Amino acid sequence: MLVDKDISEALKRTDGKVYELVENKLGALRRSDQYHSGSFRALSEADREVYELVRQEYDRLENSIQLIAAENQCSRAVLAALGSIVQNKTTEGFAGARYHGGCEVVDTLERLAVSRAKEAFGARYANVQPHSGTSANQIVLAAVLNRGDRILSLGLDQGGHVSHGAPVSFSGRFFDVENYYVDKETFLLDYEAIREKALQVRPKLIVCGASAYSRTIDFEKFRAIADEVGAYLLADISHIAGLVIAGVHPSPIDHAHFTTTSTYKPGGPRGGLILMGQDYDRPITVGTRSLPLWAHVQKTTFPGVQGTPCLNNVAAKAVFFKEALSAQYRARQFKIIENARALADALLDLGYDVLTGGTDNHMILVNVAHLREGLTGVIAQKCLERCGITVNMNRVPYDTNGPAVTSGIRLGTPIVTRNGMGTEQMRDIAELMDSVLRGVEILSDREYGIEESLRDQTCEKVRQLCSRFPMRD
Ligand X SMILES: *Cc1c(COP(=O)(O)O)cnc(C)c1O
| Contact footprint for ligand X (CB under 6 A) | 70, 132-134, 161, 163, 209-211, 236, 238-239, 262, 272
Q: What is the distance of C-alpha 374 from the center of its chain?
A: 32
The distance of closest approach from Cβ of residue 392 to ligand X in the complex, given in angstroms and rounded to an integer, is 12
Please say which residue, 71 or 107, places its beta carbon nearer to ligand X. Answer: 71
The distance of closest approach from Cβ of residue 177 to ligand X in the complex, given in angstroms and rounded to an integer, is 15
Please say which residue, 242 or 272, places its beta carbon nearer to ligand X. Answer: 272
270 Cβ contact list (under 8 Å, min separation 6): 132, 262, 263, 264, 313
Please say which residue, 89 or 161, places its beta carbon nearer to ligand X. Answer: 161
Give the whole-angstrom CA distance, residue 466 versus residue 302.
44
Count the neighbouring beta carbons within 10 Å of the beta carbon of residue 86: 18
The distance of closest approach from Cβ of residue 186 to ligand X in the complex, given in angstroms and rounded to an integer, is 21
CA proximity to 35, closest of 77, 102, 84, 89: 84
The distance of closest approach from Cβ of residue 163 to ligand X in the complex, given in angstroms and rounded to an integer, is 5
Q: What is the distance of C-alpha 364 from the center of its chain?
A: 16
Contact 206, 230 (CB under 8 A): no
Please state whether beta strands 258-262 and 232-236 pair in parallel, antiparallel, or not at all (unpaired).
parallel
The distance of closest approach from Cβ of residue 446 to ligand X in the complex, given in angstroms and rounded to an integer, is 25
The neighbouring-strand residues paired with 411 are 364
Phi, psi of 285 (to 5 degrees): -95, 125
Please say which residue, 98 or 239, places its beta carbon nearer to ligand X. Answer: 239
Please say which residue, 81 or 440, places its beta carbon nearer to ligand X. Answer: 81
The distance of closest approach from Cβ of residue 321 to ligand X in the complex, given in angstroms and rounded to an integer, is 16
The distance of closest approach from Cβ of residue 323 to ligand X in the complex, given in angstroms and rounded to an integer, is 19
The distance of closest approach from Cβ of residue 360 to ligand X in the complex, given in angstroms and rounded to an integer, is 16
Please say which residue, 74 or 466, places its beta carbon nearer to ligand X. Answer: 74
Please say which residue, 152 or 342, places its beta carbon nearer to ligand X. Answer: 152
Please say which residue, 387 or 396, places its beta carbon nearer to ligand X. Answer: 396
Contact 110, 128 (CB under 8 A): yes
Please say which residue, 98 or 161, places its beta carbon nearer to ligand X. Answer: 161
Phi, psi of 417 (to 5 degrees): -70, -45
The distance of closest approach from Cβ of residue 140 to ligand X in the complex, given in angstroms and rounded to an integer, is 11
Please say which residue, 235 or 342, places its beta carbon nearer to ligand X. Answer: 235
The amino acid at 175:
F
The distance of closest approach from Cβ of residue 103 to ligand X in the complex, given in angstroms and rounded to an integer, is 25
Report which residue's Cβ sits closest to ligand X. Answer: 133
The distance of closest approach from Cβ of residue 234 to ligand X in the complex, given in angstroms and rounded to an integer, is 10
The distance of closest approach from Cβ of residue 396 to ligand X in the complex, given in angstroms and rounded to an integer, is 17
Please say which residue, 244 or 437, places its beta carbon nearer to ligand X. Answer: 244
Contact 247, 269 (CB under 8 A): no
Please say which residue, 163 or 367, places its beta carbon nearer to ligand X. Answer: 163
Radius of gyration of the CA atoms of the chain, in A:
25
Q: Cis omega before residue 250 (within 30°)?
A: no
Contact 160, 169 (CB under 8 A): no
